[in-house]
Structure 1
Amino acid sequence: MSDKCDLCLLGLIILCSLLTGNSGVNDAHVFISSGEDVRLPCNNALSDCTSTTWIYFSFRHSGTVELIIGGKKKKDTERHERLSLGSDCSLNIKNVTKEDPGFYSCRQYVNDEQQGTDARVSLHFLHVSSSSSSSSSSSSQTEISPGRFVTLSCQLYSYDGESCDRWAHSEGIHLLWVNQAGVDLTTDSRYQISSSGLCIINLTTTLLKEDDNREWRCRLTHRNQVKTSVRYTVKYSAQDDSVTAVIPVHTTNSQDPSTIKTPETKDPAVTASTEVSRTAGLLFRVIVMIVEIAVFAAPTVILLQIICARRAGRKNSQHLEEIEMPTRLQ
């Protein structure tokens, strides 16, 4: 019962510190991007990590969870396989996801008595997602290719969606889209930068042929110091290698360059196949012409045969009459 009360008290203390905007003396902030591993320091560790307990709190999960007790992982936690305890009693989390941000507290116990105060660590997670559609009227296309516009959404996951903006404002958090050289993309009219509060910033642009392998970065600064960034690199598929036309940024009804073929690069196998196809097509047309001629000519031949037969019959009749005439006269 006392352990549950301690967990509830910890959650209440953290909640009060968040709402009042005050952080504890031992509080630390750790910023991480998606898919990376993170180490959360335990600033109150004793010489023996068997006294260490790690506790997690998040508003999204509406409660506290014990991750490490007495230096050992709890097996019933969802993140059991991704957690480990460092030799300095730090908490290591592999492949961080948007479910991991929140408050982490390192607490020391000796003979069931807490030693000192909690060492709290706030984990913040930066993630980029993308959506793409056609630059024409069709919006069902999702592939990444030249001529289509793409929107990159960079979001900071902290405590929860509502308090993130409040905390970001008090802590001087700033999100920014930059190119590979670190230049602010808001200075380039090609990019449309928009934000939804302090914890979400979007980049929208129309992809060009030369954007293949281009890198954009969402950068996070905390009190004017760069803490982390997420990279997004454009990758075109092999089928887009034949694209030669470049779609202007502001053109919305241009031909999709992926349908334009390059006349300069010809595969011998493709050329041979094309020649065979042309020959077969020509032969087919000749056969069709012969059949059409035969179909048209057949009635004509039959008609001519009938006419000739009638004329021959008339001549034979006249000849017989000429032979029979003298006989009748006698």
Structure 2
Amino acid sequence: MADKCHLCLLGLIILSSLLTGTSGVDDAHVFISSGENVRLPCNNDLPDCTSTTWIYNRFSHSAPVELIGLGIENKDIESHDRLSLGSDCSLNIKNITKDDSGLYICQQYMNGQQQQTNDYFYLHVLHVSSSSSQTEISAGSSVTLYCQLYSYTGDSCDDWIPSEGIELFWVNQAGVKLTISDSRYQISAPGHCIITLTTTLLNEDDNREWRCEVTHRNQVKTSVTYTVKSSGEKMNEFHELL
């Protein structure tokens, strides 16, 4: 019980340090698009992973969950079939979803004592969705695309993202940033963590792409592309691509 309480306290201390702007945290940011796979490394100098524990926090206000305990996977969590421990003690997550965003901590134990070094990562997941639930959308119909960055801070991300230099953009298939001055599109950012694109679909929009990008200090970290397929007068919503 004491060990579990220590893990809870450690997670809260690390999360608090990020929110207060502790230096060196930037390297711990990992940006990925939903549907991708990710590998989170762990600094382990021992010959096996029986000393390795991975802890996860979904939100800043949620309790930490043990994903891997001393090299053993936790089978009681919903995502366990998408998790695996690498031979180097890294945490591998397949088919990332928006619910995988959060804080990940790798800890090492020797003789029951936690070591001082911890590896921690803040996983941010970029996800795009559409206002239409139809598989076919007629030309002339209006559609809104929602691009959202999911983070461990949850609803409070607006208080944190600006200070970290994180921005969301919509760009066209030529890579040109779309702005509110573009007559075809209505770009709206109701918060720092979400940006929407609304447009009326045209027949010539067949195979047209709109891409949402996330940048961290002016460097593109990941993106999600939305492609429209048309068949005559109908528009088919295609699967999100990277």
- TM-score (ref. length: structure 2): 0.88
Pick 1 or 2: higher relative contact order, CA cutoff 8 A, min separation 6: 2
1:170 equivalent to 2:129? Answer no
Higher strand residue share = 2
Q: Give the aligned length.
A: 233
1:65 equivalent to 2:65? Answer yes
1:100 corresponds to: 100
Distance in 2 (CA, whole Å) between partners of 1:211 and 1:63 is: 46
Unmatched segments (≥5 aa) in structure 2:
236-242
In the TM superposition, residue 142 of structure 1 has moved relative to its aligned partner by: 8.0
Distance in 1 (CA, whole Å) between partners of 2:26 and 2:2 is: 24
In the TM superposition, residue 11 of structure 1 has moved relative to its aligned partner by: 2.8
1:54 corresponds to: 54
- TM-score (ref. length: structure 1): 0.66
In the TM superposition, residue 61 of structure 1 has moved relative to its aligned partner by: 6.9
1:208 equivalent to 2:202? Answer yes
In the TM superposition, residue 14 of structure 1 has moved relative to its aligned partner by: 2.8
Would the aligned equivalents of 1:132 and 1:148 in 2 still touch at CA under 8 Å? no
Question: Closer, same or farther in 2 for the Cα pair 1:222/1:230, shift >3 Å?
Answer: same
Would the aligned equivalents of 1:27 and 1:120 in 2 still touch at CA under 8 Å? no
Code of the residue aligned with 1:192 in structure 2: it is Q
2:240 corresponds to: none
In the TM superposition, residue 19 of structure 1 has moved relative to its aligned partner by: 3.4
1:181 corresponds to: 174
1:283 corresponds to: none
What percent of counterpart residues are identical? 72
Unmatched segments (≥5 aa) in structure 1:
134-140, 244-256, 259-330
In the TM superposition, residue 23 of structure 1 has moved relative to its aligned partner by: 5.3
Listed one character per residue, the Cα deviations across residues 150-177 of structure 1 (whole Å, up to 9, x for unaligned) are: 1001000002433211221121001000
Counterparts of 1:29-44 in structure 2 under 5 Å? 29-42=29-42, 44=43
1:113 equivalent to 2:113? Answer yes
2:154 to 137, 161, 168: 161
In the TM superposition, residue 203 of structure 1 has moved relative to its aligned partner by: 0.4
RMSD: 2.2
Distance in 2 (CA, whole Å) between partners of 1:76 and 1:19 is: 30
Distance in 1 (CA, whole Å) between partners of 2:18 and 2:226 is: 32
Distance in 2 (CA, whole Å) between partners of 1:131 and 1:145 is: 14
In the TM superposition, residue 145 of structure 1 has moved relative to its aligned partner by: 2.2
Would the aligned equivalents of 2:52 and 2:108 in 1 still touch at CA under 8 Å? yes
Q: Secondary structure at the match of 1:56?
A: strand
Distance in 1 (CA, whole Å) between partners of 2:31 and 2:204 is: 32
Distance in 2 (CA, whole Å) between partners of 1:26 and 1:234 is: 36
